[in-house]
Structure 1
Amino acid sequence: MDAPRWSATVRGALADALTLLLPVECAGCGAEDIALCATCEAALAPAVVHGRVPGTDLALASALRFEGIPARVMRALKEEGRTSIARALGPALRAAVESVAHDATVFAPMPTSRAAFRRRGYRVPELLALRAGLPIRRCLRLARATADQRGLDVEGRRRNVRGSLVAAGVRGLPVIVLDDVVTTGASLEDAVRALRAEGAHVVAAVALAATPRRYGASARDGTGGLGASETAR
């Protein structure tokens, strides 16, 4: 195991240990002395929705609505370092993958910025993939820094991330892109561009959760557009 991955594994294990040693509250509702109560865990049951990655013809599957309990649980994972709750989210991601998966597919997680990795000590899409039992390949990387997406409109976000990703080692391979939360569309669109430019056959994109505004139409007829991912993963 290389040093950076070993370090991330140790940090994740320490975070899980601290969760057991220190007083905790439910990540979904705040109930005391439990990391995730039964009611909130039940709210993480997948309801897979199919749509399209904006700006492409590519299918996008999402397992949860990014609101209410799922949103609070995701924020606890991403912003509070509560890595142990990724175990409860893994099955939902796997359900979304199974709705689009092909045999012998390469699973490509969206890359994490250096700043986000320094802040957290782990890569959220990769951690979720691990808990979903999905073997990943780091074939996407950030080629340049991007500005904070918050406060930008849809077109501004697309301009901000356009050309920010590059791919390697996937020529001729079937690839599914993995992400944690889908919002407006820009980063996933750029990931698809980068993978196709490298000669990959991009099968689909899969996200654990999508914002409600990108969720509704496709839940009814499978043709609606789910948006794109956050860039500062």
Structure 2
Amino acid sequence: MRPRGAPLLLVPVPSARRSVGARGHDPARRIALAAASVLRADGRPARVPAVLCQRRRVTDQSGLDARQRRANVTGALGAVPGGGRLLVAGPVVVVDDLMTTGTSLAEAARAVTAAGGLVIGAAVVAASLTAANRN
């Protein structure tokens, strides 16, 4: 059971190490940290636990259709050792920078749930026209 007044956990979808190295930063993590800062300034407890990691290498998603993206990321994410203990601290919102088909968000939500977290939503900065036209 989650304690009343528990912090909102903003869990970023992890980027591949090679992508972080090429960009020089992890966009989803930076977005989650900025959002948590705004929430805390408004008096709402929020944390950004680094609980997800890539369990296996995935191919670059650009150029893949929805079916290929789903096959590419299914089972690719998991919780870091001890991550489940952190995930029970509060409800989870999965955070990513861009949603194209939603497969990365779905995989992150699956991994969080498998580790014992309660996913209540997802947040992205932008969605592609493909994603926007599906809804």
TM class, shorter-length: 0.7 to 0.9
Q: Which residue of 1 aligns with 2:95?
A: 178
Q: Which residue of 1 aligns with 2:19?
A: 116
* Structure with bigger gyration radius: 1
Q: Which residue of 1 aligns with 2:104?
A: 187
Hey, what's the Cα distance between the residues in 1 that align with 2:30 and 2:7?
A: 21
Paired residue secondary structure (2:106): helix
Hey, what's the Cα distance between the residues in 1 that align with 2:89 and 2:32?
A: 23
Paired residue secondary structure (1:173): coil
Hey, what's the Cα distance between the residues in 1 that align with 2:22 and 2:130?
A: 29
- Change over 3 Å in CA distance of 1:215–1:151 after alignment to 2: closer
- Change over 3 Å in CA distance of 1:174–1:189 after alignment to 2: same
> Looking at both structures, which has the greater relative contact order when contacts are Cα pairs under 8 Å and sequence separation is at least 6?
2
Hey, what's the Cα distance between the residues in 1 that align with 2:33 and 2:109?
A: 22
Which residue type is aligned with residue 24 of structure 2?
A: G
The question of 1:204 aligning with 2:124 is answered no
Segments ≥4 residues shifted beyond 3 Å: none
- Change over 3 Å in CA distance of 1:104–1:130 after alignment to 2: closer
Residue pair 1:171, 1:198 contacting (<8 A) in 2 also: no
Hey, what's the Cα distance between the residues in 2 that align with 1:183 and 1:171?
A: 29
Of residues 115, 130, 134, the one that matches 1:213 is: 130
Identity of aligned residues (%): 37
| Per-residue deviation, residues 132-182 of structure 1 (Å, max 9, x unmatched) | 326311111111100121222211110111000002231473111011111
State how 1:133-172 maps to structure 2 within 5 Å: 133=37, 135-167=47-79, 168-169=83-84, 170-171=87-88
Supply the RMSD in Å over aligned alpha carbons.
2.0
Hey, what's the Cα distance between the residues in 2 that align with 1:128 and 1:111?
A: 12
Hey, what's the Cα distance between the residues in 1 that align with 2:51 and 2:131?
A: 27
Residue pair 1:172, 1:199 contacting (<8 A) in 2 also: no
Q: Which residue of 2 aligns with 1:131?
A: 34
User: How far is the alpha carbon of 1:216 from its aligned partner?
Assistant: 5.0
Runs of 5+ consecutive residues of structure 2 not aligned to the other structure: 40-46
User: How far is the alpha carbon of 1:103 from its aligned partner?
Assistant: 5.9
TM-score, normalised relative to structure 2: 0.77
